[in-house]
A and B are shown apart, each in its own frame.
Chain A
């Protein structure tokens, strides 16, 4: 067992720092005043099919089907995909397009379940794995995949894929992200305080899968209760390769690359993954879900969600079944205060504003934030004065102001020159901008434009290739046809020649021979007179004629 100290100054591990970042008022105590509660089950659960990055799963149920809690509703067929499960028992009433929480405000296919209130577990769930150490990595990965586990820190990337970096990328360190650097959000904090032991078990399982030698748990020093809970759990835990590292509170220390830099000093370039340098990073909630899937055989059907903000009367954390409507959670949290401003999914820095509260909670929902109107703050954008405050706080060491300049001018090549795609959209630049320019919006715009342009280019490339291929094919067919024709013609001619020869040649040869013979004889003067080969009768006639002539003459 190895505990790295009780506060940031007692870490045994050397901490690194990343450039920039912000010290933000954390507003976390608001939702930590009350203990987390189980959210009440709604009559209707709206479960979006696509709750992850990757291919959508294939629906296994149809309207009218009875489903049980934990039953798989849609199966993942692709490698980068995740199944979804029923978060309570009931009847499927619809499978159709429903509005889902998404920055675009679009609708997507959802399975709507009318719950029966019994919350009855499916009894065909896989058996709990008591001794994961005797399982192979692929068996455990299969279980994690089955459970529909995705990155619960917000990225929702299928965990099975992330835990399977391939044989050519050996992993030595598991980084556990417990930083929770965004203001207001406390769901990881609450989860650690209530389930530290399970999280450690999840860590053990994941380390077994990855054959990792070391685990570093990174947690910001503003979560003293959670730190104490992990230390307590570590002191009761048998493995000695898990190290708790308390890091200073600075946004965005919870960004994957930033956290890895703080803990290891290593920087991951824009186009590579942590696995390239032997590191895999997972959020605490993901590890909790892994333990549930392996040790209990439960799929991912609920998660801790923070419902908070000045616009909520009783901010708190709730364990929320997947598909519960936000409006219902807010009702359970005492409803709205007066003068609400925005409804945000996620934190104030990176979350996105929702236009309505009748949207379901999904796997990636860590926080529902309701802000209050603040008339003191005016955010009317004015021209950039190039003060460079944005570059001072940028954790990716970019020049946000130059990016803004070129994004605004739609100079998509220059904006990539200035490394637009290294931007993690943390929002630090826009937060400090004295001109209140919505910088991140410009970067998103430029990224989308570039993606669209590349997509267009890809499509036109394909079209051009197809066109060229078609031309080539037509030319080839034509050439082949011509070649064939020519050959045929040749063959025909030859054949024609061959067909005519025997008879004609024989005749011609015979005629030739006769002519030659005639010629020869003529030359020799041996051409017989017509009278030479006379028959006897003819001769007699001739003789008689000659006699008559002689008689008449005499």
Chain B
């Protein structure tokens, strides 16, 4: 009897890229719900626009490369990119900005480098950076969280604003928008105000901005799920959060009047989303365990530096992108000790 042959091993785990991506999407659900709760329907509309454009541009590009689009698109990586990008965008951003961002993420940052697995930069963050430097006003016009929002918008109004740019009667941008807590904090710090004065504003909750701190909590929950499911390892998120806590703690100890409480840093802005969902993108991150610690700690440090001294209120995207560039070099110099090698026995 004749048999087909293949090389060993002959058994495989049923894991797949698609399953990994599904887990990530599942872990994002609490954060998405929290964002929608605090910032309205715009979040879901953004996700819908971003995912649609991301998937469509991937399908189109694969077609242009004369390959089968379905197996590529069905790995769901474009969906994850779309969702991550949308979660970083202001809730009432004009639809075309979102669409440009999603198309840029997939076509320029991912597919032009060869598609999944070959992109040196995190597509969602590269797109976010592009949008931020191209349309800074739009990109920093956030809504106040619902707990402070006196004028809630219904679904139709949100759609109208996003797709046509027309405000509901009697409303203007100035009446509905609000700075993000990070923006507020560092703008006013730049104006030489003290933390105590700044914190008089109704924007603040226990740790970070009202609403924002809860959004970050829910991202943390999703992140813990990913850790539990072993989709990600602890090295990158813990080293990001740890280094950020350490540095902001040191600064706070030196002068609490002008340096915010450490918990403010991690529960405000995109730190939790960045630490668990963005910096852990395996394609663009460091892959050795030691390298991941360096990678994460450097991101945390960069976030602290950019927030304190940089021109942009939040720093996660730039910190991640900068370290993406360094990842291959970090990997090269952090090769683990090979079995039997007598370099140092402490590593595992």
Contact = CB atoms under 8 A, between A and B. Distances in A.
Contacts of B341: 267, 269-270, 397
A402 interface: yes
A384 B15 contact: no
Contacts of B11: 24, 183, 348-349, 431
- Chain B interface size band reads 35 or more
A385 B20 contact: yes
A332 interface: no
Nearest to A343: B3
B117 interface: yes
Interface in A405-435: 418-419, 422, 425, 427, 430-435
B282 interface: yes
Interface stretch (A42-50, A113-121, A438-446): A438-446
B89 to A, nearest CB: 25
A386 B287 contact: yes
B288 interface: yes
A397 B13 contact: no
Interface stretch (B129-137, B270-278, B331-339): B331-339
Contacts of B5: 105, 342, 352-355
Contacts of A431: 9, 11-13
A175 to B, nearest CB: 16
Contacts of A438: 6-7
A386 B117 contact: yes
Nearest to B72: A382
A327 B5 CA distance: 17
B287 A401 contact: yes
A31 interface: no
A232 B166 CA distance: 87
Contacts of B2: 355-356
A369 B6 CA distance: 14
Chain A contact residues, majority secondary structure: loop
Interface residues of A, number: 69
A336 B2 CA distance: 12
B8 A352 contact: yes
Contact of A385 (B6, B9, B116, B233): B116
Interface in A333-383: 336, 340-344, 346, 348-357, 369, 371, 376-377, 379-380, 382-383
A444 B285 CA distance: 28
A152 B337 CA distance: 31
A401 B13 CA distance: 17
A353 B6 contact: yes
A257 interface: yes
A399 B288 contact: yes
A269 B11 CA distance: 29
B71 interface: yes
Contacts of B9: 348-350, 427, 430-431, 440
Interface of A: 18-19, 24, 105, 183, 257, 261, 267-270, 272, 327, 336, 340-344, 346, 348-357, 369, 371, 376-377, 379-380, 382-389, 391-392, 395-399, 401-402, 418-419, 422, 425, 427, 430-436, 438, 440-441, 444
9 contacts: A349-B9, A353-B3, A383-B117, A383-B118, A385-B116, A395-B339, A397-B341, A427-B9, A440-B8
